DNA sequence: TAAAGATGTATGATATATCATTGAAGTTGC
DNA sequence: GCAACTTCAATGATATATCATACATCTTTA
């Protein structure tokens, strides 16, 4: 039974939460995705992070963050200016529009959390948090190296893969 | 603090689990994604579902499932034959290759779960499950209808969106 | 300081996610 | 038996996820 598998329940809960959260943001007439919102928040709080730093904090991939930032620059939520001491980077700032958007989203986000957690006590969350953290750290360590020395990773993507 | 928000922990845990799970499947030399695996399992157990049915069971979108099925037909994990009594549909079957793949994946999946849940008791899971279900059902109900009668959804995607 | 190495960003390729729409094919109501 | 409705699958558009690579730019080291 799928429902007995905890990862299925986890996935289901977080997906539905994201769906509800985005729907309520949309309904409020605010043009931002929840993922973008998270990145914007991080940039607001620390304006001298690399994309890799940001990615780590929001638990996303550097490539994803790069694309999100590029979209947010295009949509005007972010502004960039070159960093004098490092030619590879830009300093990212939340724009005026970005600030207004963050303000507008804030109450929606709080309300979303409240709705999602209705009927759960602080004690419930206190129980759940360390369990989730434990799963996380287990999985962090759990990509065990194979006994075989050399792995043919390329073959995995070949369409002629034997199985 | 992001870490105090339960949804962040949830997201982090499930993401890392998926990452580990896929890495271990890759490492075993098996050419399937965990999402495809889930769909394949459902089709194996019920060979007369519509894509919408399948989507519901794996908690995905019909459009996603349609694309996954199309990929799995291409890669040979699935086979399709037209259904005589309904010209819109095909009967989907797990192919020989699909069966072999499922067999190969099974032990990896079990091992992944074991690794991920190390240090968690059955009691822990029994506590967590209903909480997750509660979050899910809260969120299912939580996309509250707006008081305003008409919503201009199109405007949300416009680049000229005022904020 | 030149070469080697590390870091930061961008991007290609592919898979999934979501919403919306289309068009074909069933079903219902009359 | 036809019109209206519903269902099913496919697909366009856009966003995210992941891996890999490319390229520029720093940093170290010999």
Q: What is the pLDDT of residues A54-87, one digit of tens each?
A: 999 999 999 999 999 999 999 999 999 999 899 9
Distance of A50 CA from D27 C1′ (whole Å)? 17
B76/A100 Cα distance (integer angstroms)? 50
Q: How far is CA A28 from the centre of its chain?
A: 21
Q: Is residue A11 less than 8 Å (CB to CB) from chain B?
A: yes
| CATH number at B7-137 | 1.10.10.10
Convert the pLDDT of each residue in A82-116 to its tens digit. Answer: 998 999 999 999 999 999 999 999 999 999 999 99
- The answer regarding whether domain A8-129 maps to CATH 1.10.10.10 reads yes
CA(A140)–C1'(C5) in Å? 27
- The residue extents of the domains of chain A are 8-129
Half-sphere exposure of residue A76, counting CA atoms within 13 Å on the CB side? 11
State whether residue B13 sits within 8 Å of chain A by CB. yes
CA atoms within 13 A on the CB side of A103: 8
DSSP state of A78: E
pLDDT surpassing 50 at residue B44 = yes
pLDDT tens by residue, A26-52? 999 999 999 999 999 999 999 899 999
Burial degree of B14 (CB within 10 A; 0-12, 13-18, 19+): buried
Residue of B4, B5, B9, B119 best to disrupt the A interface, most CBs of A under 10 A: B9
Q: Residue A5: which pLDDT band, with cuts at 50, 70 and 90? A: confident
What residues contact A134, with CB distance under 8 A and at least 6 apart? Answer: B119, B120
* Interchain CB distance below 8 Å, B129 and A75: no
Is B15 at the interface with chain A, CB within 8 A?
yes
Nearest to B127 among A23, A127, A133 (CB): A127
To 10 degrees, what angle do helices A96-116 and A6-27 make? 130
Q: Give the three-state DSSP class for B45.
A: helix
* Measured distance CA(B162)–CA(A97) in Å, rounded: 9
């Amino acid at each position: 039974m799928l429902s007995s598998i905890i990862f299925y329940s986890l996935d289901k809960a977080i997906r539905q939460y994201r769906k509800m959260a985005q729907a309520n943001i949309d309904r409020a007439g605010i043009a931002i995705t929840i993922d973008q919102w998270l990145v914007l928040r991080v940039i607001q709080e620390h304006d001298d992070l690399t994309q890799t730093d940001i990615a780590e904090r929001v638990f996303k991939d550097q490539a994803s963050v790069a694309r999100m930032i590029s979209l947010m620059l295009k949509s005007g939520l972010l502004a960039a200016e070159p960093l004098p001491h490092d030619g590879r980077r830009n300093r990212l700032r939340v724009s005026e529009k970005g600030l207004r958007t963050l303000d507008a989203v804030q109450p929606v986000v709080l309300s979303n959390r409240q709705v999602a957690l209705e009927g759960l006590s602080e004690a419930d969350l206190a129980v759940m948090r360390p369990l989730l953290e434990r799963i996380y750290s287990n999985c962090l360590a759990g990509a065990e190296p194979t006994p075989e020395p050399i792995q043919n990773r390329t073959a995995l993507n070949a369409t002629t893969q034997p199985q």
